[in-house]
Structures are given as structure tokens and as C-alpha cells.
Amino acid sequence: MTHRSDDEEAPVKKTAGKDERARPLPKGPSKLTYHADESSREIDDIKRAPADDREKLMDFIRQRRTNRITRSSHVTPGIKAVFSSEPLIAYKYDPGLAQHEEVIFTVKTTLQLEKNDYQAELMKGPNLGVFGREAARPYVLGIVAAFSLAYDRFDWSLAEAKWAFSAVEPYGVDASRNKMALATASSVQLIDMDTGEGRLCHNPWLNQGHTVEFSPDGKKLLVGSSGFDAVFEFDTESGEIVWEWFAWDHGFDRSKLGHYVVRSAARCRALAAMGHEVLLVDDPEKYKFGIPTRQKPAHLNSACYDSEGRILVTLFHQGAGYVVDRNTGEAQEVISGLSNPHKLSRRKRGGYFISDTKRGKLIFFDEKYRPDYEISLAGTPGVARSADLSEFLQNTTELREDLFACIDIHRSSLWLIDVKRRRYRGIKFPVEWSVHDVASVGRNLDRRIGNLASTQFGKVAAFARQLKIIHHFAVDGREITALALDTQGRHRGIDG
């Protein structure tokens, strides 16, 4: 890095930024800032209340049912948008909800408790508004597995899994028609389930593909890549990149710690000449594990299609969701004021949703990106954890119309929510699992993927006796490594 101190900015044009508004896009959505409201105070009251008093408090909330809050819309002057907020526990618990559904789980690592320890310590330090690792770490092996949602709990041994295989830090997963896409640490594997053929979609700048999504016609695959804050679109037949977008090249190049991260040597020199601290990343091969989360300007963690051919991106550090015009590269902020959000996505019935991660809220929007209502996870039951840990709603997926699956990391729970019928159910998973994504899969597709798993991926075997142990194998059957966890679920050692 080059370092000098100055408050002057380099004279470059931004397509979007924290303190300036991007030019309107054609048929552009509204820009609306989201703020914590009185529903948050109600949730805080639930968490602070003794167990005996919680039901009384919930009775009061149920009587109010929907706490309506007025927010001004930027689309139609003088018109007020009505926003409702309530806790998930105000919905009816339905033990039979979604029991016939089947899903694919990606478990990025089995070291979530160590991650919790790190995050709890981080919450005690300075720069609380800057979240994530300070140094990149080597990639480890994770799990991809298929489950029926008929269970109330998924076990460490994978006993409930219909099939499971090993992968290097699996992130995003999607299945459509005859294809399955799986993003891992540094590539995306695209599998044709008719032929059994697999193809690696690769690019030096593709690192930590947090989300993958097929286009409606299945001909394209969109990848949100966190390692270098980028988006890639691949042709599913050729495996070639047909479109790409880098947040750093479009105005999102200054980190919350104050330094810049750029790909252009000229941009680096201009910023350094003005006294700014700059990290030049012109060769991704020098950063095998990507840029550490705390050092990145954006930590782009999702890319999805909207209804008009544009691209939805979620920027973790900006606390905002954006719509990118694929022709101009311009990014327009459509929702802000969130706490480290994940996965701005389109709903099947129209409108959008996003995970307000560190507030533990699922927020829904209309077609013009105006907030409609939110559901809060605060107050739901979960495993005992450090008081220093925040809420952490990872990705949310719409499994079928109006049925959502929410990954609640710090409660080790998958929440199934039927927003139309106002019902919910929880499924526990092991506290050691760092679950990243969940995707819906039909029975026929599930069988086809299961048949191919042994030919395209290595097996995984997990046991829980005195210690919890997991073995990862290569496609040819050779054991790659074995991970043992102690009685507290912490990493004990890796062999092999």
C-alpha cells in the first residue's frame, strides 16, 4: 500500500456512491432509505423480557398484529407508503409446513463456532461498523447435501441427507431445467444432468462466488463474486463470460477503513499523488484467497436478475442494494440503511426481498423497490450463544411462491416462512455448520443430481462419537483430509 494523508478526493466519476445519487436509469426504481423503527424497540423488549413474561408481551404484539409505520416515497410526491413490521413469532407455528419440499444445502465450512468466537471478539473492538476478517485465510473443504424438509433437525452425521458430497468451500447453488451450478472458492461448476458432463466456469477474477442464478431461459448463469467485488455472466453452453461488472471500477473503491482498492495503475497513481492510501490489485493471482472482507470496499455478496434485464447487487459494507444497468454499468441505489445485507432478489409473484443480516430481518419490497413489510427473527428460539453476537440472517431463498427459507446462522436454524398463510417452522442444523445457501430442488432433479454426485465430486462421511469427525474424499476414492472437532465443537486438527 502507498500511504499519505489528505482529505482531497481524486477527480474520477462515480456511478454510485454513499454521498451522491446516481443518474436515474430508464424506468428506474425509487431510492428509499431504510431506518430502524419502533418495531425494533418491540423486538428488543422481547429479548430483554423474562421467559414468563414473553407470552404476555407476544399477546400484546399479536393484538397489534401489524405495526404500521409511514415512510415517504420518492416516486410519487405526496403519497405515503405504508410499511408494516412484526416478529416471526407473531405468525402461527406449523409443524407440518413444507414437509414435502426438498432442498440443496451448501455448508461452506464446519468451523462456524470458531467463526462465532472471532466475531464476538470483533464486536468488542474498534471500528464496529466494519465487519469481517482482517486477513484472508486458506480455503477448506465443505459439504453440499440434499435434504427433505420433513425433518425437524439435520444431524452432524448427515443421516438425513439423501446424498452429500465434498467441495472446496461451496457457496452459491442453483438448479434449473437440466443444469446445476455450484460456486466454490475459485470457480463455478456447471453440470449437464442429461449427459453427466461437467464444465468449470473460470476467470482469474472469479473468487468466492457467493451466489449463482440461472437466467429465466436457462441460457445464462449470473455469478456474484465476493473475492474481488465482481459480477460475471456466463453462457451456459460455451462456459464463456458474456458480461462482467466490477464494483471498484464503478465508484465503489474506497473501503470503510479509509483506503482505496483499485485495479488500474493510473487510478492508483492519481490517488497516491493526492495522499490517499491505495491497494493496487492488478493481478488477481497474487491474491489467491481474495481480498479480506474488512479490507474490501464493498464485499459484493449477491447478483440476481431483475424483471427488466438489469442486475441486482447487494453490497455488504454499503448496507445497500443496487440495480446495475448492464449497458452503461451504472449502479442505482434502491435500498439503503441496512446492516451488512445479503441477497437482494426478485420474488416469484413480483416485487423483491433482501436479508437485513445483522438486524435479523427479512424485508419485502414492491415492484418499485418501496419497502412493503418486514419480518424479524428476534425472539425466536435458538441455541445458547455469546451475548456479543449479533443477529445474522444469511441468505434467504424463495423455495416456491410465498414460501421462504431463511438461514439463521447464530441460532443454527433454517426458518421456513409462508408469508401468505402467516405460518412458520424451524429446522435445526449443527452449530458447527457454516450454512451459506439453500436452493429448491424437485424430486426428479434431486435423483439426477444424486446419481451424478459420485462421478463429479468426492464423497464425505461424518461421525459423532467421542469427537465429531468428518472425512473428505476425492472423486477416485482417496481420502483428502479428516477434520476432528473437540467436545466444544472447535477445530482440533487436520490429517492428510
| Contacts of residue 82, Cβ cutoff 8 Å, sequence gap at least 6 | 68, 69, 70, 71
Closest to 423 in 3D by CA, of 107, 55, 94: 94
Q: Is the pLDDT of residue 115 over 70?
A: yes
pLDDT at residue number 465: 81
Render pLDDT for 265-294 as a digit per residue (tens, 0 to 9).
Answer: 999 999 999 999 999 999 999 999 999 988
Q: Is residue 220 part of a domain?
A: yes
Let me know whether 90 and 118 are in one domain: yes
Q: Helix 51-64 to helix 38-48 angle, to the nearest 10 degrees? A: 160
Is residue 262 situated within a structural domain? yes
In the sheet where 352-356 sits, what is the strand order? 67-72, 80-87, 371-376, 361-365, 352-356, 342-346
Percent of the chain whose predicted confidence (pLDDT) is above 90: 61
Residues 146, 163 contacting (CB under 8 angstroms)? yes
β-partners of residue 105 are 145, 438
pLDDT tens sequence across 238-253: 999 999 999 999 999 9
Give the number of other CB atoms < 10 A from CB of residue 56: 10
Separation of alpha carbons 256 and 298, rounded Å: 9
DSSP alpha helices (H): ranges in 340-400? none
Band (493; pLDDT cuts 50, 70, 90): low
Residue 329, pLDDT > 90, answer: yes
Question: Tell me, what's the pLDDT at 492?
Answer: 61
Pairing of strands 413-418, 80-87: unpaired
From CA 17, how far away is CA 109, in angstroms rounded? 33
Same domain for 440 and 349?
yes
Q: Containing domain of residue 477, as a range?
A: 458-496
Q: Does residue 67 surpass a pLDDT of 50? A: no
Residue with cell 454499503: 318
Judgement on whether residues 424 and 493 belong to the same structural domain of the protein: no
142 and 214 fall within a common domain: yes
Q: How far apart are CA 100 and CA 149, in angstroms?
A: 6
User: If you average pLDDT over residues 70-98, what whole number do you get?
Assistant: 71
Q: Are residues 462 and 378 in the same domain?
A: no
Flag whether 435 is in a domain: yes
Q: Indicate whether 130 pLDDT > 90.
A: no
Q: Are residues 276 and 407 in the same domain?
A: yes
Q: From CA 219, how far away is CA 216, in angstroms rounded?
A: 8
Take residue 70 and report the three cell numbers written for it.
Answer: 409511514
pLDDT of residue 6: 38
Query: If you average pLDDT over residues 328-336, what whole number do you get?
Result: 95
Is the predicted pLDDT of residue 306 greater than 60, yes or no?
Answer: yes
318 and 395 assigned to the same domain: yes
Query: What is the pLDDT confidence band of residue 489, given thresholds at 50, 70 and 90?
Result: low
Helix (H, G, I), strand (E, B) or coil at 63: helix
CATH number, domain containing residue 358? 2.130.10.10
Is there a single domain that holds both residue 97 and residue 244? yes
DSSP per position, 406-420: EEEGGGTEEEEEETT
* 493 is a domain residue: yes
Residue 298 has φ and ψ, to the nearest 5°, of: -125, -40
> Do 348 and 478 belong to one domain?
no
- In this predicted structure, what is the pLDDT of residue 118? 75
- The mean pLDDT value for 372-396 works out to 88
Say if residue 357 is in the same domain as residue 372.
yes
What is the pLDDT of the chain when averaged over all its residues? 83
Domain membership of residue 270 (yes or no) is: yes
pLDDT at position 74 is 40
pLDDT digit string, tens, across residues 24-65: 444 455 555 555 444 444 444 444 444 444 454 455 444 444
Q: Examine residue 20 and state whether it is found in any structural domain, yes or no.
A: no
Q: How many residues are given for the chain?
A: 496
- Domain membership of residue 14 (yes or no) is no
Select the more confidently predicted residue: 452 or 105: 105
Count of the separate structural domains present in the chain: 2
102 and 178 in a common domain: yes
* 132 φψ region: left (φ > 0), alpha (ψ -120 to 50), beta (else): left
Helices and strands of the chain, counted as H and E runs: 5, 34
> Are 384 and 51 contacting, i.e. CB atoms less than 8 angstroms apart?
no
Residue 373 within a domain: yes
477 with 401, same domain?
no
